[in-house]
């Protein structure tokens, strides 16, 4: 069947009035972004409170569905058969044909849902429902009407053209990116942070990201892996500006001045401080990390307390209550997992002490940081101003 159009269903809770336009416009632009690499030409439009994607000529059906399934805010994708209005007889014939193509010998309960969006059509919705229902019963003797829990819902919308659809492919839900401000993701090469970024983007938040690398201790390839991950998250979240911060000197300085078992915590505090500074410059209103309680020494409740203390901005930790396996499940679903498990060094792990503190005392950490007073401000300034910015899409 030559289905060339898709009706896009989206959740409408809380999007009344002016918000509705913002929501729909963001959705249109995210759909266009998602389709840009799909084979074929598409028009994406909004009419009478509905969003349509129409292929202009040849296109790749499977790829189109896959791309639309990555757009936050879409709850359902309905492949639509569009036909010209050549009178009711023709419509009835085409509908019988449509059903035959789905199943030559259908034995299902069904319901017809006609909607007359064009009021000058000579029959009203009720009459269309009854007439079409009768034709279907006559043509397919094993079908039965069930208006309460039909197995097969046939939608017929009378517009300039007539739209026929019956299938709804589930979308990924959420809110269109761009409807809920911006946040800064601390993106490492691991499994957790890309998932965390994806989860926050799903709520409509635009994402920027900061990655700390430590050349020559971390390689060019490790950095490329993070860029690759940002590109993968961008398939859902739209283009991501990735700030790559050279953390080597700061790390070495902390290593020289502070007790080694506190190194990870102090380093993490500087990551948060720097990410917050860049976030402010980017007008982001929150930070995102892939932390999960108890996963490693730097993520005990005491460590999280000590890390969090340096930030004024809210820190979003969407995987905080997830087990590793639950995070992996999402990473696989969003296809970041294979990239995340490539074995490249992370700057966090390079100078790690054998026995890092697991219950850091904030007072003790603050006292250790005093030893950095002389140079740290200048080093942070340099790291921030010297950062590299890559737009990942």
Give the one entry of Mg ion, ligand ATP, none that residue 316 binds, where binding means its C-beta sits below a cut-off of 5 to 8 angstroms depending on kind: none
Q: Does 64 bind Mg ion (CB under 5 A)?
A: no
Give least dist CB 212 to Mg ion, A.
10
Q: Which residues fall within 8 angstroms of residue 223, CB to CB, at 6 or more apart?
A: 211, 213, 215, 244
Locate tokens 């059903």: which residue? Answer: 99
Q: Does the footprint of ligand ATP cover residue 270 (CB under 6 A)?
A: no
Q: What does 284 bind: Mg ion, ligand ATP, none (CB cut-off 5 to 8 Å by kind)?
A: none
157 lies in the binding site for ligand ATP (CB under 6 A): no
In the block, tokens 């026929």 appear at 164
334 and 194 Cβ atoms separated by less than 8 Å = yes
Under rule CB under 5 A, which residues in 347-366 are in contact with Mg ion? none
- Within residues 290-319, the interface with ligand ATP by CB under 6 A covers 290-291, 295-296, 298-299
Distance from CA of residue 220 to its chain's centroid? 27
Which one, 8 or 196, has the nearer CB to ligand ATP? 196
Smaller CB distance to Mg ion: residue 129 or 188? Answer: 188
Distance between CA atoms of 2 and 355, rounded to whole angstroms?
64
Residue 289 binds to ligand ATP (criterion: CB under 6 A): yes
Task: Determine phi and psi for 179, rounding to 5 degrees.
Answer: -100, 0
Is residue 328 close enough to count as binding ligand ATP by CB under 6 A? Answer: no
Task: Return the structure tokens found at 343.
Answer: 């074995």
Between CA 316 and CA 318 the distance in angstroms is 6
318 makes contact with Mg ion (CB under 5 A) = no
Contact status: 186 vs ligand ATP (CB under 6 A): yes
Tell me which of 7, 38, 187, 233 binds ligand ATP, using CB under 6 A: 187
Q: Give the span between the Cα atoms of 249 and 124, in whole angstroms.
A: 74
- Under the binding rule (CB under 5 A), the answer on residue 251 touching Mg ion is no
Could you tell which of ligand ATP, Mg ion, none binds residue 272, using a CB distance below 5 to 8 A set by kind?
Answer: none
Buried b (16+ CB within 10 A) or exposed e, 121-152: bebebeebbebbbebbeebbeebeeeeeebeb
Nearer to ligand ATP, 162 or 183 (CB): 183
**389: which residues sit within 8 A by CB, 6+ positions away?**
241, 242, 243, 244
Q: Which is nearer to Mg ion, 110 or 212 (CB)?
A: 212
Q: What is the DSSP code string of 188-202? A: -SSSHHHHHHHHHHT
352 binds ligand ATP (CB under 6 A): no
Q: Which of 204, 203, 196 is nearest to 230 (CA)?
A: 196
Q: How far is CA 29 from CA 24, 25, 177, 331, in A?
A: 9, 6, 9, 25
Cα 157 to the center of its chain, rounded Å: 31
Q: How far is the CB of 297 from ligand ATP (least distance, A)?
A: 8
State the nearest-atom distance from the C-beta of 282 to ligand ATP, in Å: 15
For 180, the token pair is: 């809920």
Q: Measure the CA–CA gap between 74 and 171, rounded to whole angstroms.
A: 5
Q: Which of residues 168-227 bind Mg ion (CB under 5 A)?
A: 188, 190
Q: Which is nearer to ligand ATP, 55 or 288 (CB)?
A: 288
The CB-of-382 to Mg ion minimum distance in angstroms stands at 24
Cβ neighbours, 10 Å, residue 48:
8
Give least dist CB 81 to ligand ATP, A. Answer: 45
Smaller CB separation from ligand ATP, 158 or 347? 347
- In this chain, which of 140, 155, 212, 337 binds ligand ATP, going by CB under 6 A? 212
Residues near ligand ATP (CB under 6 A), total: 21
Q: Give whichever of 113 and 203 is closer to ligand ATP, judged by the CB atom.
A: 203
C-alpha dist (Å) from residue 312 to 179, 281, 318, 368, 383: 23, 14, 18, 21, 20
Q: Which residues pair with 315 in a beta bridge?
A: 287
By CB under 6 A, residue 207 contacts ligand ATP: no
Please list every residue from 357 through 386 that binds ligand ATP, using CB under 6 A. Answer: none
With CB under 6 A as the contact rule, the residue among 348, 357, 365, 379 that binds ligand ATP is 348
- Window 328 to 347, contacts with Mg ion (CB under 5 A): 346
Residues that bind ligand ATP (CB under 6 A): 186-188, 190-193, 210-212, 271, 289-291, 295-296, 298-299, 346-348
């Amino acid at each position: 069947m030559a289905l060339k159009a898709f009706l896009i269903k989206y959740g409408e809770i809380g999007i009344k009035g002016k918000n509705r336009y913002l929501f729909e416009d963001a959705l249109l632009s995210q759909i266009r972004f998602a389709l840009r690499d799909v084979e074929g030409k598409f028009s994406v439009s909004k009419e009478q409170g509905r969003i349509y994607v129409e292929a202009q000529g040849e296109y790749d059906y499977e790829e189109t569905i896959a791309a639309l399934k990555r757009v936050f805010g879409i709850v359902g994708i309905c492949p639509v058969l569009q036909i010209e209005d050549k009178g009711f007889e023709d419509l009835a014939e085409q509908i019988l044909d449509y059903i035959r193509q789905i199943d030559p010998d259908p034995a299902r309960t069904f319901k017809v849902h006609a909607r007359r969006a064009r009021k000058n059509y000579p029959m009203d919705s009720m009459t269309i429902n009854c007439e079409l229902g009768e034709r279907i019963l006559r043509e397919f003797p094993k079908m039965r009407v069930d208006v309460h829990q039909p197995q097969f819902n046939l939608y017929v919308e009378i517009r300039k053209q007539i739209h026929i659809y019956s299938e709804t492919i589930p979308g990924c839900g959420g809110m269109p990116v761009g409807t809920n401000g911006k946040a800064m993701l601390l993106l490492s090469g691991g499994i957790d942070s890309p998932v965390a970024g994806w989860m926050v983007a799903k709520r409509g938040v635009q994402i920027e990201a900061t990655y700390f690398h430590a050349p020559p201790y971390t390689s060019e390839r490790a950095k490329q892996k993070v860029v690759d991950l940002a590109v993968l998250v961008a398939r859902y979240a739209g283009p991501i500006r990735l700030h790559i911060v050279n953390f080597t000197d700061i790390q070495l300085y902390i290593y020289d001045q502070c007790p080694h078992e506190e190194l990870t915590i102090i380093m993490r505090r500087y990551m948060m401080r720097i990410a917050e500074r860049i976030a402010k410059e980017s007008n982001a209103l929150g930070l995102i990390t892939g932390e999960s309680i108890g996963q490693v020494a730097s993520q005990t409740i005491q460590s999280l307390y000590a890390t969090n203390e340096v930030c004024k901005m809210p820190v979003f930790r969407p995987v905080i209550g997830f087990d590793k396996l639950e995070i992996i499940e999402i990473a696989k679903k969003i296809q970041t997992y294979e990239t995340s498990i490539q074995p490249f060094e992370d700057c966090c792990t390079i100078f790690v002490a054998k026995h890092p503190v697991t219950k850091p005392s904030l007072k003790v950490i603050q006292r250790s940081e005093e030893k950095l007073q002389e140079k740290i401000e200048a080093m942070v300034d340099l790291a921030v101003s010297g950062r590299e910015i890559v737009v990942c899409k």
